[in-house]
């Protein structure tokens, strides 16, 4: 093959070839190991472009139709090329793996609680109202996401919309607080702390709407005596916002 | 807290899953053995992204649902052909989605500039999906940041191909640029994206 053929890997990974070229390039792939590796990586990369799309909620009907069609569709039985070999686990290094871990941690063993700062929302507002607030912050055009492990363990994700003057905090997998203590959340500006929330006794995670965020430069989590403190006494982690 | 009147209120607990959820690779492996329950779980894990990509390419919600159904039934049918060696299950499924969506678009011969049309925003997020929405938002932001590191001509070539469903020949024609140049821009652009995203095929657990 000419040197030129290898350079089709990008267009191929993007699906930007016609059927004839695809077939020709796949023949080339069968005999070119460097291209196989490159295509696998570039295809994985191209797939990430799919992440930059809105995530629509599929209609319930679509799920039903798909499952029903699957129930009456026979599967292709392939000659077992790899026999009973267990599929090799692949690890996608770096950020992608971290992102997956976020989801697993959020839905995994540690119970995640959803809380809101009730002075801003009123005691009796429906759950839908908080969900709306959270999704509005997440959907804000200027929303920035800060994601960081905390010194004491666990991790914090803070989504900030300066335009809305609000943020959403997700905390997960914090260490179990000592007896009589609880976690308190802060926004700091010029080293001046302002309390923006308090976790329930015993809680090790939360999703919370915070605000106003105004010019806050740092988000912090501290461990405090139950009931909270006027200023943080034992900071367990911070996230720089900006 | 009492000091400034704020009080955290527990509204909902996510039930503990003993060992977290199985990932798409594991599910697909079970689907290949005819496990319909695993298929349903796989559907729940990937249908949103499949539909999102299909919509972005075909620009029609009803058509995008059709594509989604076709792709997921095809995933069921051909799960035994998935080769973990060649990439992740989600890349396999989304590559299939992209191919199918692009086929639809090319079949229509709708040569209006699809890249220019704004995607229909669907920002509805249910109460249960916030955690995943944040993770998705993180991914999106990183993809955007990495796309931003491409040269403008690389970015143009990559997005016209991927989101617009154009072949590199069409892109070359559209930009009045030689074919090898466009091929190179696509490859170099993706390589730069790959390095920015930290994508690397790596064996082992
Ligand atoms: Zn090659």
Q: Enter the tokens of residue A127.
A: 């759950």
Q: CA–CA separation, A7 vs B107, rounded Å?
A: 27
Q: Say if the Cβ atoms of A195 and B4 lie within 8 Å.
A: yes
Q: Considering only residues B56 and B137, tell me which one the structure prediction assigns the higher pLDDT.
A: B56
All domains in chain B, ordered by first residue = 3-114 (1.10.1740.10), 148-197 (1.10.10.10)
Tens-digit pLDDT profile for residues A143-157: 787 877 888 888 888
- The number of residues in chain B equals 205
Per the structure, the complete domain to which residue A106 belongs is given by 97-240
Same domain, A23 and A108: no
CATH number of the domain residue A13 falls in: 1.10.10.1320
Same domain, A125 and A19: no
Q: Is residue A61 part of a domain?
A: no
Residue A175 has pLDDT above 50, yes or no: yes
pLDDT at B108: 66
Q: Is residue A86 part of a domain?
A: no
Whether the Cβ atoms of residue B129 and residue A135 lie closer than 8 Å to each other: no
Same domain, A146 and A40: no
Predicted TM-score (pTM) above 0.80 = no
Query: Rounded to a whole number, what is the distance in Å from the CA of B79 to chain A's nearest CA?
Result: 8
Q: Is residue A36 part of a domain?
A: yes
Q: CA–CA separation, B51 vs A46, rounded Å?
A: 16
Q: Is residue A115 part of a domain?
A: yes
Q: Considering only residues A78 and B61, tell me which one the structure prediction assigns the higher pLDDT.
A: B61
Q: How confident is the model at residue B128 (pLDDT cuts 50, 70, 90)?
A: very low
Most confident of A16-30, A50-64, B1-15, B138-152: A16-30
Tens-digit pLDDT profile for residues B66-122: 999 999 999 999 999 898 887 889 889 999 999 999 888 877 654 443 333 322 222
Same domain, A34 and A108: no
Same domain, A34 and A140: no
Tens-digit pLDDT profile for residues A196-223: 888 888 888 777 888 888 888 899 999 9
pLDDT at A219: 92
Nearest CA in chain B to A157: B134
Q: Enter the tokens of residue A134.
A: 């959270």
* φ, ψ for residue A187, nearest 5 deg: -115, 140
Among A28-42, B50-64, B138-152, the minimum mean pLDDT is found in: B138-152
Tens-digit pLDDT profile for residues A81-109: 443 333 333 333 333 333 333 333 333 22
- Report the mean per-residue pLDDT for chain A: 75
Same domain, A132 and A26: no
Q: Is residue A205 part of a domain?
A: yes
pLDDT at A129: 61
Whether the Cβ atoms of residue A159 and residue B134 lie closer than 8 Å to each other: yes
User: Which of left, alpha, beta for A141 (phi over 0: left; psi -120 to 50: alpha)?
Assistant: alpha
Q: Is residue A150 part of a domain?
A: yes
Query: Which regions of chain A does DSSP assign to beta strands (E)?
Result: 90-92, 113-114, 144-149, 155-161, 166-172, 181-189, 192-198, 206-210, 218-225, 235-240
Residue B153 has pLDDT above 90, yes or no: yes
Among A89, A234, A228, A128, smallest CA distance to B8 is for: A228
Q: Which of helix, strand or coil describes residue B31? A: helix
| Residues from chain A contacting residue B168 (CB–CB below 8 Å) | 11, 14, 16-17
Q: CA–CA separation, A216 vs A2, rounded Å?
A: 58
Tally of domains in chain A: 2
Beta bridge partners of B202: A91
Q: Is residue A190 part of a domain?
A: yes
Same domain, A103 and A15: no
pLDDT at A7: 92
Q: How confident is the model at residue B197 (pLDDT cuts 50, 70, 90)?
A: confident
Alpha carbon of A29 to ligand 1 centroid (Å): 6
> How high is the ipTM of this complex?
0.71
Size of interface A-B (CB pairs under 8 A): 376
Q: Is residue A233 part of a domain?
A: yes
Q: CA–CA separation, B202 vs B200, rounded Å?
A: 6
């Amino acid at each position: 093959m000419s040197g030129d053929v290898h350079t089709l890997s990008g267009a191929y990974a993007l699906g930007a070839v016609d059927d004839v070229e695809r077939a020709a390039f796949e023949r080339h792939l069968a005999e070119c190991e460097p291209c196989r590796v490159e295509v696998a990586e570039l295809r994985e990369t191209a797939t990430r472009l799919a992440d930059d799309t809105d995530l629509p909620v599929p209609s319930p009907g679509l799920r039903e139709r798909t499952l029903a069609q699957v129930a009456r569709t026979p599967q292709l039985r392939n000659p077992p090329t790899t026999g009973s070999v267990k599929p090799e686990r692949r690890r996608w290094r770096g950020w992608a793996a971290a992102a997956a871990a976020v989801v697993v941690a959020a839905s995994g063993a540690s119970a995640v609680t959803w809380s809101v700062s009730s002075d801003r929302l009123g005691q009796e507002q429906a759950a839908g109202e908080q969900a709306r607030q959270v999704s509005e912050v997440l959907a804000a055009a200027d929303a920035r996401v800060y994601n960081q492990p905390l010194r004491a363990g666990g991790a914090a994700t803070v989504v900030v919309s300066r335009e809305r003057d609000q943020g959403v905090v997700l905390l997960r997998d914090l260490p179990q607080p000592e007896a009589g203590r609880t976690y308190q959340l802060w926004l700091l500006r010029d080293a001046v702390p302002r309390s923006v929330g308090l976790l329930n006794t015993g809680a090790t995670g939360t999703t919370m709407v915070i605000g106003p965020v105004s010019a806050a430069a740092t988000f912090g989590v501290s461990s405090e005596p139950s009931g909270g403190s006027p200023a943080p006494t034992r900071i367990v982690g911070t996230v720089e916002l900006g | 807290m009492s000091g400034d009147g704020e009080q955290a209120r527990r509204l909902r607990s996510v039930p503990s899953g003993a060992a977290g959820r199985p990932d798409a690779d594991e599910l697909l492996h079970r689907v290949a053995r005819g496990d319909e329950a695993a298929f349903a779980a796989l559907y729940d894990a990937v249908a949103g992204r499949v539909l999102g990509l299909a919509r972005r390419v075909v620009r029609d919600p009803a058509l995008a649902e059709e594509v989604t159904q076709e792709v997921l039934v095809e995933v069921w049918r051909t799960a035994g052909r998935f080769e973990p060696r060649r990439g992740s299950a989600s890349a396999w499924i989304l590559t299939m989605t992209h191919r199918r969506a692009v086929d639809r678009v090319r079949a229509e011969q709708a040569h209006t500039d699809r890249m220019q049309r704004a995607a229909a925003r669907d920002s509805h997020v249910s109460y249960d999906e916030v955690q995943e929405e944040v993770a998705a938002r993180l991914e999106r932001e990183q993809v955007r940041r990495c796309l931003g590191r491409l040269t403008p001509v690389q970015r143009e070539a990559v997005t016209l191909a991927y989101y617009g469903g154009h072949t590199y020949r069409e892109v070359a024609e559209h930009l009045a640029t030689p074919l090898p140049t466009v091929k190179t821009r696509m490859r170099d652009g993706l390589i730069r994206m790959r390095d920015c995203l930290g994508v690397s095929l790596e064996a082992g657990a």
